[in-house]
């Protein structure tokens, strides 16, 4: 095999191997996936709720330990 043939074969393999297997289509910003949007916002709201609950528990425990309540 010549060098040019090896180079063209390597270029072909690199082009074929570089295609993403996970991206099947370009997302359409005019038609969002509402399930994913809802899951994202719902998860964020849940995490913030847990954060505020934990903060309230920590503040209450601090006040009890230091005799402030």
pLDDT in tens, 8-30: 665 555 555 566 666 677 878 89
- What's the pLDDT tens digit per position in 49-62? 999 999 999 999 99
The reported pLDDT for the residue numbered 45 is 98
* Domain limits, the chain: 33-69
Dig out the tokens for 42 from the structure: 């719902």
Cα–Cα distances in angstroms (integers) from residue 49 to residues 34, 45, 53, 54, 56, in the given order = 22, 6, 6, 9, 11
Cα 13 from chain centroid (whole Å): 30
The structure's pTM equals: 0.57
Give the whole-angstrom CA distance, residue 7 versus residue 9: 5
Nearest to 39 by CA among 28, 51, 47: 47
């Amino acid at each position: 095999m010549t060098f040019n043939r090896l180079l063209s074969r390597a270029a072909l393999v690199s082009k074929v191997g570089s295609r993403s297997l996970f991206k099947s289509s370009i997302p359409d910003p005019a038609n969002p996936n509402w399930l994913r949007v809802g899951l994202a916002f719902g998860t964020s709201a849940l995490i913030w709720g847990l954060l505020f609950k934990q903060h309230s528990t920590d503040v209450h425990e601090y006040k009890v330990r230091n005799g402030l309540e």
